[in-house]
Structure 1
Amino acid sequence: MSSPKKEQTGNTVIVGIDFGTTYSGVAFTWSNKIERMEVITSWDSDLHSTSDEEKTPTAISYNSKGEVSWGYSIPFEPEQGKWFKLLLIDEKDLPDEIRGSTKLKEAREYLKKHNKTPISVIAEYLRLLWNHCNQRIIETVSRAVVNYSKFHIVITVPAIWPQYARVRMREAAKDAGMLTKRIAGETRLDIISEPEAAALATLSDMEGRCDVQVGDTFVVADCGGGTTDIISYEVINISPMAVKECVQGQGGLCGAVFVDEAFVQILKKKFGQKAWDKMEGRSRHRIIHDEWEHGIKPMFNGNMRPCIITMPVECIDFSAFMTGRRAVPKIEITADDVCTAFDPVVDKIGGMVAEQAAAIKTLQTEEKLKGPKYVILVGGFGRCKYLLTALKRFVGEDVEILQSRGSGPWTAICRGAVIHASSLQGLGSFTVQIQSRIARASYGTTVIRDWNSRMHKKKDKYWDEERQGWYARDQMDWSLKIGEEMISDKPVRFSYSRLYSTDEASQRKIEVKIYTSTESPPPPRKESSVLLLCTIDWDTEINIANLSTYTNQLGKVYYKLEYELQMGSKNVVANYEVKG
């Protein structure tokens, strides 16, 4: 099997950015030093104990003086904006249970208070993140290397995000100054899906292992702060390692933040609303940060001794002491309480993993009826011990669940983003290929078709003067349908034609609108579930003398322009090109 064609460049700095719902991470490499990929850990911090983490909080704070702080550098007391990543998605596209989330409501209110839009606050955060990382890269490889190198930036986004959210992310990156022209040339920005980036990092770690054979299948579960994406692959070659996505991926808004929110609701109930309202912000932070984030949550595996939390002094009813009735200054958190917080999210993830495993089984022959060899957990929430324990009951004993310790799962996405760009640039020895993907949406254009009263709606019927016949307008021609295979670097071709009268001979511009739908199967006509993805403008001089002609029933002659729309696919994103 031949290796894919790679883009050779000079000095290049590659930066992979995992812009997460709760935490963000950055990895980078340069020139031919892919083996020396580095993850940024030196964050400006108001808390010295957290400054060397592999990620920094996706949080921002504006004070009354107009000053901005972010990540670990936010002083404790001020309000801060969190969860704003999820605001890139229109409210109508959020699930009902997420739309009314307390955290999302707080995020919207914070942005409204400071007169910010989701794009503007994300651009502000990315600018601060980018400036910090740029300085760290300079300190690592020297200012000269940075100044005279091209930059290739890869930002990851959830696979479940609609296309418009990807466009907004690109706009925010541009507004953040990440694409500012450099001495060495234009900065390249790619946006790829989080599960694919995580899979690339995972595949890189698995390459050369004796337990990986052609025909093996495995599921990568990217469990993050806000979203979980599931993607499944089949190994089709060992050296170089090549895989293809074997079943349609799944995803949902079911990440760690929803477990956190559920636990806060449990605390409120335990303390009582009156005591909770009296609690100072510092006390809440201590309980949630120390007792939960760095205590119960990462260590919980389904069993634990009751955790006793001392009630902050401001919550104690001292009048009870005056009357001889002592208020109980402690609350107890049991294993059942913690399961109550975890289970709704874990069950959703488990259900998706089970569906992937079942779908993989349907692809096997009767002689080889089996599920995936491995389920591999990555992402911040992918390190959760309880998630590992709970998933075993969803996939059974025949499927092995792999969960790395340390920072590997947490940094898989930003590392995978670097590996993606490095493989395109031809840097280093990384050879894993993702040869095909399964479409998570349908892509197509509107066309007219010969009128058929049994197939078409009456409101679509119209008389075409040029062709002198009855036609149905706004019919969909899906160039790629949801669930179909997208082969990397092998475009799908569709032919179209357009008629011109002699009066239109000077016309230069052709406009093609691309639509998308997540319905399965996609609808045959343009309706509410069919959304405009983008508009392609083709501006070229048309020499009608070189065109063939078409004569209608009335003898009127038209010039016929034939052109081709090519759709390629990389990173689960459709790319279109018009050829005349």
Structure 2
Amino acid sequence: MASTESDNGNTVIVGIDFGTTYSGVAFTWSKKIERMEVISSWDAELHSSSDEEKTPTAISFGSKRKVSWGYSIPLDAKQARWFKLLLIDDKDLPADVRKSTKIKEARAYLKKHNKTPIAVIADFLRLLWNHCNQRITETVSRNLVNYSKFHIVITLPAIWPDYARGRMREAVGQAGMLGERVAGETTLSFISEPEAAALATLSDMEDRRDIEAGDSFVVVDCGGGTVDLISYEVISTGPMVVRECVKGQGGLCGAVFVDEAFLKVLKQKFGGKAWDKMKAQTRCRLVHDDWEHGIKPTFNGQKQTWVINMPFECIDLKAIKAGFTLPKITLTADDIRGAFDPTVEKIRAMVDEQVAAVKLKKEAGPKYVIMVGGFGRCKYLFTSLKEHFEDGIEVLQSRGSGPWTAICRGAVIHAANIQGLPTFSVDIQARVARAKYGVPCNVEWCPETHDPRDKAWDEDCQEWDARDQMEWFLKIGDDMSTNKPVRFPFWSMYAAEEATTTRLSETIYTSANSPSPKRLGDNNVVELCTISWDTKLDISSLPTFTNSLGKVFHELVFEVEMTCAGGSLDFAIYHNGKRQGSKNVVVDYETRS
């Protein structure tokens, strides 16, 4: 009889970078934690793409229920791309992104196939997960996979609203990634993309002599759709311990917006009639060969021209019969800069703001600006930032696949740190809140400070209250220490004749607005999650309160604890100083649309 690996505590850790344009996966297993591997060997229409470190975030629903994805989609097939951005509501997208041709095409494709954003993401993740399961099995053995626990970490943009996490969790469930396993339940956690990228970067920087306690640096994670910035101050170097220095920031200004701008340049050069004649397959090949693997990765601002042959189907039939040679279009350096610059300028402005915030906080600028992510490998972006910072701040850019795979590798490191595995010893001591978190409460009515709409009579306490006034227990810019979780009290009253209570629920709210909203009814206060506690309490054992009419009530006081790990929030309930069992506490995130 084969021994079960779960007896030895094995865990397979899988980090998934679900990106706007490309997705990547890294994994390791607890007995060989130093051997982190990045998934490749994708099923591919073009053999040259099969061993890339990432696969396109694309899916195609063909005839007879045939579904293809990633590199396996035929070049002439219609497909869904950019659907990651559809996970968040229209009103939370910038106007230019909302009006983007690619967003409109993605919405139209999903509508044609009767798919919701959550459903199409689940379809893609299912295919991605099946491929990864196969590759992991082929690497570490079927026995180890079958009898190991799984810990899946999925990355999300830090700038996304909190409800997106709930929607992603729903998609993961629909994808079948959390199905029953012999070794026990699969753990699912989330980490923000910039923190995952920073963890991979910090791991690479450990033991460098040029890094000292007190140094700070900015990590710029440039992806396909989003660009996120996060800044750290080094607390110690052996082992590497850091704390987030200032509130991070980000925006929807990734590589896809450069790609879209380039397509507009091409269309203008070709002319509308010729462009409309071009087959979809020809367009894909042109972009793949001349842009993605030609101009885009090599452009560095240099003065140069690029000549592209006009495809056969774009030529006028009469000209072809007359023996006319195929015409060409010429792209200049100004044309290419015109495609890059609007996006590059947005990124440069965000880096400026982050550097200024670090200088204000520490009275000294960061030592390094470190570029990671797929778009972080862009030569032109690197040159633009390097030329911009000439006052002692050094811009760093690694070559090869390192920046491209930083996020999925960092996700693995995050899970390894949670499990206390020693190989990856990077510790993030504190993070900075990017939003406010709080609860509504009733307070004694004050006509000078409260809105008349909130005035209400409290029958139990026999007094006038201001209902649903927001109490923010964590504000934007506050430190969220991993060693000192945030706790906040809740209070409930029960009539003396009530015997027991079995389920308590409280709702947490969030806001990104400043100054802090005062009322629950304000438009910029939104629901984050509901925390439910299944318990059986003897009401008579609780302390009592007697109102002015002599009616007796029992008071229940408990605390909710909030911790932040990798940008993902976790909650626990404490009563009488004791943490309540996780099986009795359920957190449901709001997934409003």
Superposed displacement of residue 318, structure 1: 3.9
RMSD: 1.6
Q: Identify the residue that residue 515 of structure 1 maps to in structure 2.
A: 509
Q: Identify the residue that residue 346 of structure 2 maps to in structure 1.
A: 348
Taking the TM superposition and a 5 Å limit, the aligned residue runs for 1:284-323 are 284-319=283-318
Shift in CA distance, 394/465, structure 1 to aligned 2, threshold 3 Å: farther
Cα deviations across residues 106-129 of structure 1 (Å, max 9, x unaligned)?
001111111111111111111111
Q: Identify the residue that residue 481 of structure 1 maps to in structure 2.
A: 475
Cα deviations across residues 121-162 of structure 1 (Å, max 9, x unaligned)?
111111111111111111111111111111111111111111
**What percentage of aligned pairs have identical amino acids?**
64
Taking the TM superposition and a 5 Å limit, the aligned residue runs for 1:345-494 are 345-364=343-362, 369-494=363-488
Cα deviations across residues 487-534 of structure 1 (Å, max 9, x unaligned)?
014222222322211243433322201101111232121111111111
1:497/1:563 contact within 8 Å kept: yes
In structure 2, C-alpha distance between the alignment counterparts of 1:412 and 1:399, rounded to whole Å: 22
In structure 2, C-alpha distance between the alignment counterparts of 1:496 and 1:194, rounded to whole Å: 33
The one of 329, 334, 337 aligned to 1:336: 334
Q: For structure 2, list consecutive stretches of 5 or more residues without a partner in the other structure.
A: 1-6, 576-593
2:501/2:538 contact within 8 Å kept: no
What TM-score results when the alignment is normalised by the length of structure 1? 0.95
In structure 1, C-alpha distance between the alignment counterparts of 2:503 and 2:172, rounded to whole Å: 30
In structure 1, C-alpha distance between the alignment counterparts of 2:98 and 2:325, rounded to whole Å: 38
Report SS of the residue matched to 2:530.
Answer: strand
Report SS of the residue matched to 2:64.
Answer: coil
In structure 2, C-alpha distance between the alignment counterparts of 1:544 and 1:183, rounded to whole Å: 40
In structure 1, C-alpha distance between the alignment counterparts of 2:349 and 2:387, rounded to whole Å: 10
In structure 2, C-alpha distance between the alignment counterparts of 1:563 and 1:11, rounded to whole Å: 36
1:489/1:568 contact within 8 Å kept: no
In structure 2, C-alpha distance between the alignment counterparts of 1:576 and 1:479, rounded to whole Å: 14
The answer as to 2:556 corresponding to 1:557 is no
The answer as to 2:273 corresponding to 1:279 is no
In structure 2, C-alpha distance between the alignment counterparts of 1:144 and 1:428, rounded to whole Å: 25
Q: Identify the residue that residue 578 of structure 2 maps to in structure 1.
A: none
1:351/1:394 contact within 8 Å kept: no
Shift in CA distance, 9/257, structure 1 to aligned 2, threshold 3 Å: farther
1:353/1:395 contact within 8 Å kept: no
In structure 2, C-alpha distance between the alignment counterparts of 1:67 and 1:282, rounded to whole Å: 19
What TM-score results when the alignment is normalised by the length of structure 2? 0.93
In structure 2, C-alpha distance between the alignment counterparts of 1:181 and 1:241, rounded to whole Å: 37
Superposed displacement of residue 319, structure 1: 3.3
Moved more, 191-200 or 29-38: 29-38
1:493/1:566 contact within 8 Å kept: yes
- Number of residues paired by the alignment? 568
2:501/2:539 contact within 8 Å kept: no
In structure 1, C-alpha distance between the alignment counterparts of 2:509 and 2:568, rounded to whole Å: 13
Report SS of the residue matched to 1:540.
Answer: strand
The one-letter code sitting in structure 2 at the alignment partner of 1:399 is I
The answer as to 2:535 corresponding to 1:537 is no
The one of 566, 571, 575 aligned to 2:561: 566
Moved more, 559-568 or 86-95: 559-568
In structure 1, C-alpha distance between the alignment counterparts of 2:447 and 2:573, rounded to whole Å: 33
Shift in CA distance, 9/260, structure 1 to aligned 2, threshold 3 Å: farther
Q: Identify the residue that residue 525 of structure 1 maps to in structure 2.
A: 519
2:189/2:568 contact within 8 Å kept: no
Q: Identify the residue that residue 4 of structure 1 maps to in structure 2.
A: none
Q: Identify the residue that residue 587 of structure 2 maps to in structure 1.
A: none
In structure 1, C-alpha distance between the alignment counterparts of 2:16 and 2:567, rounded to whole Å: 18
In structure 1, C-alpha distance between the alignment counterparts of 2:210 and 2:465, rounded to whole Å: 58
Q: For structure 1, list consecutive stretches of 5 or more residues without a partner in the other structure.
A: 1-7
Q: Identify the residue that residue 138 of structure 2 maps to in structure 1.
A: 139
Moved more, 81-90 or 26-35: 26-35
In structure 2, C-alpha distance between the alignment counterparts of 1:26 and 1:149, rounded to whole Å: 18
Report SS of the residue matched to 1:525.
Answer: coil
Report SS of the residue matched to 1:136.
Answer: helix
Report SS of the residue matched to 1:43.
Answer: coil
In structure 2, C-alpha distance between the alignment counterparts of 1:243 and 1:156, rounded to whole Å: 20
Cα deviations across residues 143-191 of structure 1 (Å, max 9, x unaligned)?
1111111111111111111111111111111111111111111111111
In structure 1, C-alpha distance between the alignment counterparts of 2:407 and 2:230, rounded to whole Å: 14
Taking the TM superposition and a 5 Å limit, the aligned residue runs for 1:136-215 are 136-215=135-214
The one-letter code sitting in structure 1 at the alignment partner of 2:385 is L
The one-letter code sitting in structure 1 at the alignment partner of 2:268 is K
2:312/2:326 contact within 8 Å kept: no
